[in-house]
Structure 1
Amino acid sequence: MKRSIRTTVLSVGALIAAFGLPAGTAHADTTTPRVDLRVLVVTDGGPAVQAITAELDSAGTPYTQVDLTRSDRPTIDPTFLADTVDGRPRAKYQAVVLPNDNPFAPGFAEMSALTAYEQAYAIPQVDAYTYARPQVGLQYFVVGGYAGSVDGAQAAVTTAGQAGPFGYLDGAVPFEDNSPTVGESYAYLAQPAPGADFTTYVDAPIPGTARRGSLVGEYRHDGRRELVVTFVYNRYQQQYRLLARGIVEWMTGGVHLGASRNYFSVHVDDVFAADDRWDTQLNCTPGDVDCAGGAGTPSPIRMTAADAEYAKSWQAGRGITLDMVYNGAGSLDQREDNNGVDALADKLQADRAQFRWINHTYTHAFLGCEQDTSVVPWRCATNTNGSTKWISRNAIDDEIALNRVWGQNFGLPLQNDELVTGEHSGMAVLPQQPQDNPNLALSLTGNGVKWLASDNSRDPEQRQVGSASTVARYPMNVYYNVGKAAEAVDEYNWIYTSRAQGGSGICEDHADTTTCLSAPLDTATGYAGRIVPTEIHTALGHVLANDPKPHFIHQSNLAEERLAYPVLNGVIDGYNSLFAANTPLVNEPMRDIGAELKRRGLWKSAVQAGQVTAYRVGDTVTVVAPNGLDVTASLPTGTQRAGAAYGTPYAGRASGWTASTGAPITLTLPSSTPAAPSAVAAARPAPVSAPAPGTPVPPAVREGAEDTDRR
């Protein structure tokens, strides 16, 4: 054993020499190294590393991945990690992410190379999920610690964590416990080992004691810095989503390409119109296509002036502006049926400046194929030659233009480049209509539409339809055809219970549906007890995932029992309880969301194609990108470009988009930024520990599936 350790120490020294670095500080090279703004991710296929790469992908932060399960992967050696550019030493990666503190097979050659590299260039290392033991600066968990489930644990950011990489959080880091029968989170809770230079950033109570154990902390040793994470997670779990930003900020020192914010925008469809009501006996919606042969009697749900006043007051108190997605013909119908009176429209007209407004077409007509509703589900009508009968371009033009003119005459502050078609129609809808109505693109272009809403559950990726780019929206399981909680629960029960229980059987036919019920919900308690918490959890998950896509509800959800507000309040209250004031919800209009998605798509393509180069030398960051590409980065507040402040503040950093002209973009970091290496100096060689022992991963974490509700 002594012989093998000695061999390892010597190999580290040899590796330092291999980097072309001096053997000691007396004759150190004073040339400031270049550190490329790219992360090295070493993966074994586990969920924790996958979660970190998902965060990098979402933000647009470049990384290189080495898959340990592939036989054709590159070898991690000094040449792979560093070289010289224009006579200046270059570190190719600003941070290293490993599955654990040492995932390599016995022999240690690659771990030795990484150790020497991290020492030479002051490169931090993230241990994505590892075992608590002295090799990572912690006591063994058997010494007054804990190993096991932490489902439902109330973890917290420590004082050091809030002063450091997790300062955007308010303190609490609650662990999910979504099922009493499924283990979702496993952790090692331990305190720092005696004499270890270890700072805990996130901790949790050690069961049965008054002590707390580390879940996330920094271990400094042998000229290296490791972020030690001792709980397992996947990319969708709330506890990880809360900490993901801080993990990236820690590893990059707050200097990296890409940016992340937390978004929450809400569209209210069918404003001015009325929505048909769910029939609890027929299990369909009279007046809609799901009731065969026109069964039942329609019973409309429509907001009142009092509901509009409540909406105005609510959004003012919550710091959120609702997007009112309107159908002008709905007001015309109301006046015709009520001797010219429409108190709702009068109220919304008086308060029109308090909301944002989006064209939802004049009558909410279906703009795809002509629907044959003689069968359930409906099908596309066909011509005599078997071809699909499409809604004409003139009909689509009328729906867009008439609603636009009505809104302008009504005094709405419109943005005429935004459009939401009724039921997202005109675009493909499976299985009946597998392609877009070919007349839709022509009409969008002719009417100057740039942003077209799509349904994220069936059309999630941004794409071009004529002149318009799509903006996918998340549907909420607060249904368009209910105004009362009992109705909502009845429909929920119908959709998500088995045929034997009187339900639709969709869960039997679609195994990927995650909201299936083992028994029907109580109509008196099911909405508040099950549906609301489920919807809050799903929507908050989107908010925490750097996802700007809006959510949509319907005007019926603001009427009668005002079913949407418990969900919306739950999302906002839940968010505010977790995040500091420097990290507010971002509430954007549709066009800004569309532009953000488009910029992200172009940025991601350029990064993946290797068209973007970025590096740091001392306090200067240089980015080179193609002409016309918008560049995004997260940098310390106070960073300047050409003497002006860079970006806008968010979560303790400055971030934003900068248009490239093709020339290098130079950014000057503030003097308070943690220094990059001012000279490449070798740290003393250190023994490389044995590979980390295996760590358990609960099945629920390995699966890592996001909700796939049918909405």
Structure 2
Amino acid sequence: MARSALGWRNTAAALAAAGLLVTGLGVPGASAAPEPRVDLKVLVVDNGESPVGAITAELRSTGVPYTTVDLDDPGRPRIDAAFLSDTAGGTPRARYQGVVLPDEAPFGTGSAEQSALEAYERTYGIPQVDAYTWAHPEVGLEYTSDGGYSGSLDGQEVAVTTAGRSGPFGYLEGPLTFEDNSATALESYGFLAKPREGFTTYVDTAVPGGTGRAALVGEYAHDGRRELVVTFAYNQYQQQFRVLARGIVEWLTQGIHLGRSRNYFAVHVDDVFAPDARWDTERNCTPGELDCVGGGGEETTAPVRMTAADAAYAAQWQRTSGFTLDMVYNAGSGEEWRSENGGTDALADRLLADRAEYRWVNHTYTHAFLGCVQDTSTVPWSCARNADGSTRYTSRSDISAQIRDNYGWALAKGLPVDRTELVTGEHSGLKSLPQQPADNPNLAGALSDNGIRWTGSDNSREPDQRSVGGALTVPRYPMNVYYNVGTKAEMADEYNWIYTSRADGGSGVCEDNPTSTCMSEPLDTATGYLSYIVPQEARTALGHAVGNDPRPHYVHQSNLAEDRLLYPVLDKVLAGYRALYADSAPLENPRQSAIGTELKRRADWRTAVANGRVTAYRVGRAVTVSAPSGTQIPVTAPEGTRKQTLLGTSVFGTPYAGRRSAWTTPDTLQTALRLTLP
């Protein structure tokens, strides 16, 4: 081994023990030793269990490159010095900036692979996450028998300690309660124990049935190594993991990594200006829908439509809550309403007076179905056929007119609308199984004719962004607040019909669908919406918001009318978020085009990484990233980081959650992105 490399290895061990390596600080008298190159990639050792899978999902979502070693694969590479490190241009190179393990020693204590990994971590100051382990002295904790606890953590309130707030979990403010969604199922199991010397607690909780508090997440510094020890089980969908995941990644990467993560929440309100059909609580169907038979074909329920008072309330709610809604509008439906009501429409007048309060999205002029021509002679409907047996589709000119006329109306009324955004009625035009297995072939051309770059799709059918000609889809989450109800009682009644068994008076759909379950008993229609449906829907939406998921949610104008069903859900989501997160991590509320851009950048980045076309590393305070020309590069770095420019440096990124991050590219005439850490 060269003397300079050996000098670095000894220095690195001392730095790691002193906690200085993360800042790239030098050591007096050690300048002769070359600082190593540390590649910005994570090593994941996977045992197939959910905690490692959850952390892997967080790395993937954030955009952090990683290499997985599957412990169950007999052909996997052996973990040795050659696998972990080498030299690059004569400089010692660490191939991985952090290591994720199932537990503290998955290869077996004292084994060759475990010893090689531990030596690597000491040499280069590489941190290790123990995804899930039990409390014992080898991870810096006492046994649970010494005043601790092991068992269910369902419903347990946990908190970030002072050390956690000043460290990797500084973006959190209030306590976090572990999920407890079922009275009969165990959802979280964990070990609570007192820390030993060298252990710094980041997240703790009160010991059930005992006294004092005990650690759940903390750092154990020992033998020149650092481990983040997690002593509760979890999966990637549980809120407790999603809230803590950012801190785990920041600790693992020492706050310097490829990838970018924010918390997002956007809500589209469809059918603005149009009325929505109302659920019939007697016939258990919605008049106007093909399967709603009986009643002589007439409308048996009055449609649901916002009033001017509802519109005034929406504007005031936005101002009070600090949250902007996206009004997804059908101008032609509103004009028809006006003509049928003596030329007046107080709702439209109020919304137009408050036009600047909202974002507006084109929803086509009359909410026409833009896919195949529907043959409604059967239930369910089918696609009409031409004489030659081919599918009859809505024409390009008709689709284009729906888009053009709605946009033109918005311009004439002074609405702040983005021409590039569209949501078709019922997401029509896009493929819709089982009747229409392919997009309307006329849709892509019509989108191009009108400058559409982003068109909404149904996330429950198509969760991935895809192209439609030159446009890209923006998948939207349907919220479980139904379009065809205006009151709490109607909402609970329809919910009962869907989610209770035939024996309890429901449709039995929940019995027939293997992916669904029936409620044990019907909801009280007077109280069930607020007591049961709202908490469930708010929990789901908040889970998306804290999961670095920018995809918007959608509801309908009927949910802002009558009992104003949407607001209790939104209030609960916003209050829950603000109780958890510090001001440094605000909830971002982007419009559809920004969401589409974010999704496209992520897809392009994943492709570049998967194709091996990204090289990224740091040497001391210098970070260098090379990627294919034109690729937007996501980077997260500490406050004080500067980007090299042609004539000097500039402040890098924008602040979020105590770091600075950005999608960025190399400066003019530069072939690589270069950052200088503080």
Kept after mapping to 1: 8 A contact 2:192/2:215: yes
Query: Equivalent residue of 2:45, what SS?
Result: strand
Aligned pair 1:506/2:497, yes or no?
A: no
Aligned residue among 633, 636, 644 for 2:635:
633
State the one-letter code of the partner of 1:645: V
Match of 1:206 in 2: 207
- State the alpha-carbon separation in 1 of the partners of residues 336 and 609 from structure 2: 52
Match of 1:458 in 2: 461
**Greater RCO structure (CA 8 Å; 6+ sep):** 1
Kept after mapping to 2: 8 A contact 1:268/1:552: yes
- How far off is 1:432 after superposition? 1.4
- State the alpha-carbon separation in 2 of the partners of residues 457 and 27 from structure 1: 58
Match of 2:307 in 1: 304
Query: Equivalent residue of 1:438, what SS?
Result: coil
- How far off is 1:291 after superposition? 1.8
Cα-to-partner distance string for 1:367-410 (whole Å, 9 max, x where unaligned): 11111223332222223333222111121111111111111112
- How far off is 1:513 after superposition? 2.4
Kept after mapping to 1: 8 A contact 2:306/2:347: yes
Cα-to-partner distance string for 1:276-323 (whole Å, 9 max, x where unaligned): 101011111112334247464352111111111111111111111111
Aligned pair 1:252/2:253, yes or no?
A: yes
Please give the TM-score of this superposition, normalised by the length of structure 2: 0.94
Kept after mapping to 1: 8 A contact 2:666/2:674: no
Query: Equivalent residue of 1:346, what SS?
Result: helix
Please give the TM-score of this superposition, normalised by the length of structure 1: 0.89
Match of 1:622 in 2: 624
Q: Mark the CA change 1:595 to 1:24 in structure 2 (over 3 Å): closer, same or farther.
A: closer
Match of 2:531 in 1: 529
- State the alpha-carbon separation in 2 of the partners of residues 92 and 213 from structure 1: 35
State the one-letter code of the partner of 1:354: E
Query: Equivalent residue of 1:333, what SS?
Result: helix
Aligned residue among 544, 547, 552 for 1:542:
544
Kept after mapping to 1: 8 A contact 2:665/2:673: no
Match of 1:577 in 2: 579
- State the alpha-carbon separation in 1 of the partners of residues 10 and 62 from structure 2: 39
- How far off is 1:659 after superposition? 2.4
Say which is worse superposed, 257-266 or 379-388, in terms of deviation.
379-388
- State the alpha-carbon separation in 1 of the partners of residues 632 and 272 from structure 2: 36
State the one-letter code of the partner of 2:241: Y
Ranges in structure 1 where 5+ consecutive residues have no aligned partner: 1-14, 671-711
Aligned residue among 626, 650, 672 for 1:664:
672
Aligned residues: 653
- State the alpha-carbon separation in 2 of the partners of residues 143 and 378 from structure 1: 67
Match of 1:385 in 2: 388
Cα-to-partner distance string for 1:57-105 (whole Å, 9 max, x where unaligned): 0000001110101001000000000001111100111111100000114
- State the alpha-carbon separation in 1 of the partners of residues 426 and 570 from structure 2: 22
State the one-letter code of the partner of 1:270: D
Match of 2:597 in 1: 595
Match of 1:360 in 2: 363
Q: Mark the CA change 1:16 to 1:133 in structure 2 (over 3 Å): closer, same or farther.
A: farther
Aligned residue among 60, 85, 90 for 1:87:
90
- How far off is 1:217 after superposition? 0.5
- State the alpha-carbon separation in 2 of the partners of residues 240 and 36 from structure 1: 26
Aligned residue among 650, 662, 666 for 2:656:
650
Kept after mapping to 2: 8 A contact 1:448/1:467: no
Match of 2:18 in 1: none
- State the alpha-carbon separation in 1 of the partners of residues 181 and 2 from structure 2: 49
Cα-to-partner distance string for 1:108-135 (whole Å, 9 max, x where unaligned): 1111001100110011110000110000
State the one-letter code of the partner of 1:665: L
Q: Mark the CA change 1:30 to 1:385 in structure 2 (over 3 Å): closer, same or farther.
A: same
- State the alpha-carbon separation in 2 of the partners of residues 452 and 152 from structure 1: 40
State the one-letter code of the partner of 2:249: V
Kept after mapping to 1: 8 A contact 2:328/2:360: yes
- State the alpha-carbon separation in 1 of the partners of residues 339 and 271 from structure 2: 18
Match of 1:707 in 2: none
Aligned residue among 61, 66, 69 for 1:66:
69
CA-based RMSD of the aligned residues comes to: 1.8
Cα-to-partner distance string for 1:169-209 (whole Å, 9 max, x where unaligned): 0031210100010000000000013xx21100000111122
- How far off is 1:509 after superposition? 2.4
Aligned pair 1:153/2:161, yes or no?
A: no
- State the alpha-carbon separation in 2 of the partners of residues 377 and 54 from structure 1: 39
State the one-letter code of the partner of 1:669: L
- State the alpha-carbon separation in 1 of the partners of residues 7 and 150 from structure 2: 42
Q: Mark the CA change 1:373 to 1:297 in structure 2 (over 3 Å): closer, same or farther.
A: farther
- State the alpha-carbon separation in 1 of the partners of residues 520 and 637 from structure 2: 49
What is the 5 A alignment of 1:102-113? 102-105=105-108, 108-113=111-116
State the one-letter code of the partner of 2:342: N
Aligned residue among 514, 519, 522 for 1:520:
522
Match of 1:674 in 2: none
Say which is worse superposed, 283-292 or 29-38, in terms of deviation.
283-292
State the one-letter code of the partner of 1:327: N
Query: Equivalent residue of 1:428, what SS?
Result: coil
State the one-letter code of the partner of 1:569: D
What is the 5 A alignment of 1:310-349? 310-349=313-352
Match of 1:586 in 2: 588
Match of 1:373 in 2: 376
Kept after mapping to 1: 8 A contact 2:267/2:555: yes
Match of 1:696 in 2: none
- State the alpha-carbon separation in 2 of the partners of residues 36 and 171 from structure 1: 35
- State the alpha-carbon separation in 1 of the partners of residues 300 and 209 from structure 2: 61
Query: Equivalent residue of 1:375, what SS?
Result: coil
Aligned pair 1:434/2:437, yes or no?
A: yes
Kept after mapping to 2: 8 A contact 1:621/1:666: yes
- How far off is 1:508 after superposition? 2.2
Match of 1:559 in 2: 561
State the one-letter code of the partner of 1:61: V
Kept after mapping to 2: 8 A contact 1:16/1:116: no
Q: Mark the CA change 1:480 to 1:473 in structure 2 (over 3 Å): closer, same or farther.
A: same
Match of 2:239 in 1: 238
- State the alpha-carbon separation in 2 of the partners of residues 349 and 192 from structure 1: 61
Ranges in structure 2 where 5+ consecutive residues have no aligned partner: 12-28
- State the alpha-carbon separation in 2 of the partners of residues 170 and 354 from structure 1: 30
Kept after mapping to 2: 8 A contact 1:291/1:376: no
Q: Mark the CA change 1:467 to 1:170 in structure 2 (over 3 Å): closer, same or farther.
A: same
Kept after mapping to 2: 8 A contact 1:287/1:297: no
Kept after mapping to 1: 8 A contact 2:623/2:676: yes
Match of 2:133 in 1: 130
State the one-letter code of the partner of 2:224: G
Match of 1:281 in 2: 282
- State the alpha-carbon separation in 1 of the partners of residues 300 and 150 from structure 2: 60
Kept after mapping to 1: 8 A contact 2:152/2:187: yes
State the one-letter code of the partner of 2:417: L
Cα-to-partner distance string for 1:554-604 (whole Å, 9 max, x where unaligned): 000000000000001110000001000100100001000000000010001
- State the alpha-carbon separation in 2 of the partners of residues 318 and 660 from structure 1: 39
- State the alpha-carbon separation in 1 of the partners of residues 512 and 387 from structure 2: 34
State the one-letter code of the partner of 2:345: D
